[in-house]
A and B are shown apart, each in its own frame.
Chain A
Amino acid sequence: MLLEINALTKHFGGVAAVKDVSFNVREGEIFALIGPNGAGKTTVFNLITGVLAPDTGTMVFMGRPLAGMKPHRIAAMGLTRTFQNLQLFGRMSVLENVMAGAHLKGKTGFLKSLARWPGSVAENKMIERDALKLLKEVGLEDQAGLYAAALPFGQQRLLEIARSMASNPRLVLLDEPAAGLNSAETKILAGYLKHLREQGKSMVLVEHDMETVMEVADRIMVLNFGESIGEGTPEVIQADPKVIKAYLGEDDQVA
């Protein structure tokens, strides 16, 4: 099992944002977390990536507990993420964004950087080459020299996903990657996520766009008020009366 989440709980003040949530993510699958706004999905991401500390519960990634680890240490273990409200490096070029995302691929430290140590230049070239390859995959190679902030919104989403992939992680947490995309862009996104899965990447997907979720997810968990109210394949979830009542029933997006 790649990621094991067990009885995770987090309170903000008196309110339980996440309550006794458990799930597993398997190698090579897309696991979707869905639920109404405020159901605790982003909080789960913040707990897994070390931005927040859980009140109780355990999180184990590749056999190692994540509790108390700093976000950059968790990234070094092979777990990265994207953000619901984009967190691009706006005043850096598109290429540099992906290269910064590949920080973990390099070893050159502060002193060696000052001295332009032999090897650091070659290392940088290697990182640049890999970054360009990634940009090509998401169709942004022609925009490599632009500031990230100059990209249209849809391309910014793609760039952030490319950046989260740049360090070659085992698991990526994607927080509403389709939010704000038009239908054409959403199709490109869904295609890219499936392409990544074929390459052996595992993903946890938080998403409101049900069409995309049903299309790409292998398994789905539904959160409501911080609690899990159902888990299973897209078919099972779509047929679950509890889920329909709590969430899907009022949503005309469901295909």
Chain B
Amino acid sequence: MNKKIALWGILILAFALLPLFIKSNYLLGVLIVIGLYTIIVIGLGILMGYAGQVSFGHAAFFGMGSYTVAVLTTACHWPTIPALIASLILPGLVAAIIGGPTLKLRELYLALATLAFGILVHILFNELKGITGGPSGMTGIPYLSIGGLVFDRDIKFYYLVWVTVLLVSLAVHNLIHSRMGRAMRAIRESEHASETSGIDTAGLKLQAFVFSAVLAGLAGGLYAFYVTFVSPSPFGFHTSVQFVLMAVVGGLGTFWGPLLGAGLVVALGEVLRWAIPLVIPGAGGEYQIIFFGIILMLIMVIKPEGLGAITDLFKKPRVEEVQ
């Protein structure tokens, strides 16, 4: 227990001091994006790793959060905090509405339904020009201001995002170790047995789905305040797949998985973009994807439970399953 608290303390301290050593805004920006993606993948991790449901449409909720902030602060002239709160509520509501029928589907069908939903929303971002500005997007989003504190510089935003990550992590830590967390793991293991234990499996899956959409919306809202410009391109199918990738590479059902997965996938993308042209002159984006794929495949072969399972090495050995 004390070791655990010490680990948290060291990590928090490291994240707090990191900006002192980073002089480049580019690196700070990468860390901010990792933080935002971590928030989304934490939610997706609850949905996939604990409730056992997959979603290939979470970029849509991410985008909805961003567009909610963009529309409310520019066209409607809302103050920034209510707009940020709305960016949690709208994706949550949409998830609650589509979740009922969608979550009745299983495995491949659920993946296809969420994928279709993500593509549909992405098309709407492009086509509802009167609201979203179409493919050219929306500019002029003000900086987020919380009680006189204006988040107008990357360094401030860095702290805002990572404090949010910390708060979300604590909440999810509570959830996992609660009655509801136990019930979700039970659903993953056996739905029949969960039902006869009195667990409302359909209701709890829906709650997990809405929760993950709310977190994606929160990240989206923060993202809009960070870049102060929103266009459809970051919210497409490719992004949804990346979120699932981060969740799986990080390790489903592990506490550190989302942070490790988001960190690795984002960092790998950045490193490859820089490194590949050095090795293969004139190489384009497609080479990047190839190397990306190879590295991720290697990770999944070597550590199929994901990077988060590395913490198992520090635990006392447990009795293995009988054959």
Contacts and interface: CB of A to CB of B under 8 A. Distances in A.
Interface of A: 49, 51, 70-72, 75-76, 80-81, 83, 87-92, 96, 99-104, 106, 108-110, 113-116, 120, 123-124, 127, 146-147, 149-152, 163-164, 166-167
B199 interface: yes
A113 B189 contact: no
Contacts of B322: 149-152
B225 to A, nearest CB: 23
A123 B171 CA distance: 18
Contacts of A115: 171, 174
A193 B24 CA distance: 70
Contact of B180 (A87, A113, A163): A113
Interface stretch (B10-18, B62-70, B190-198, B291-299): B190-198
Contact of A70 (B172, B189, B195, B197): B195
Contacts of A104: 197-198
A83 B194 contact: no
A72 B201 contact: yes
Interface in B179-207: 179-183, 185-186, 189-190, 192-202, 204, 207
B319 interface: yes
Contacts of A147: 318-319, 321
A102 B199 CA distance: 10
A147 B321 CA distance: 7
B171 A88 contact: no
Question: Which of A80, A89, A116, A120 has the most C-beta atoms of chain B within 10 angstroms of its own C-beta?
Answer: A89
B193 A72 contact: no
A89 B175 contact: no
B178 A100 contact: no
Contact of A123 (B179, B181, B190, B195): B179
Contact of B192 (A70, A87, A113): A87
Contacts of B178: 108, 113, 116, 120, 124
Contacts of B211: 110
Contacts of B286: none
Contact of B179 (A90, A91, A106, A150): A106
Chain B: number of interface residues, binned into ranges: 20 to 34
B320 interface: yes
B321 A90 contact: yes
Contacts of A87: 190, 192-193
A163 B194 CA distance: 11
A49 B193 CA distance: 11
A51 B197 contact: no
Nearest to B207: A110
Nearest to A149: B321
A108 B179 contact: yes
A13 B150 CA distance: 68
A100 B195 contact: no
Interface in B271-323: 318-322
B180 A108 contact: yes
Given A76-B198, A87-B192, A104-B197, A114 B179 contact: no
Nearest to A114: B171
Contacts of B197: 72, 75, 80, 100-104, 163, 166-167
Given A100-B186, A114-B171, A81 B196 contact: yes
Nearest to B202: A70
Given A72-B196, A75-B198, A103-B197, 14 more contacts: A51-B192, A72-B195, A72-B201, A75-B196, A80-B197, A87-B192, A89-B193, A91-B185, A99-B182, A100-B183, A103-B182, A103-B186, A120-B178, A152-B322
Nearest to A172: B196
A50 to B, nearest CB: 8
Contact of B196 (A113, A114, A120, A164): A164
Contacts of B174: 113-116
B23 to A, nearest CB: 37
A100 B320 contact: no
8 contacts: A72-B198, A75-B197, A88-B190, A103-B183, A110-B211, A113-B179, A113-B180, A114-B175
A117 B318 CA distance: 31
Given A71-B196, A147-B319, A163-B197, A89 B171 contact: no
B174 to A, nearest CB: 4
Contacts of B319: 146-147, 150
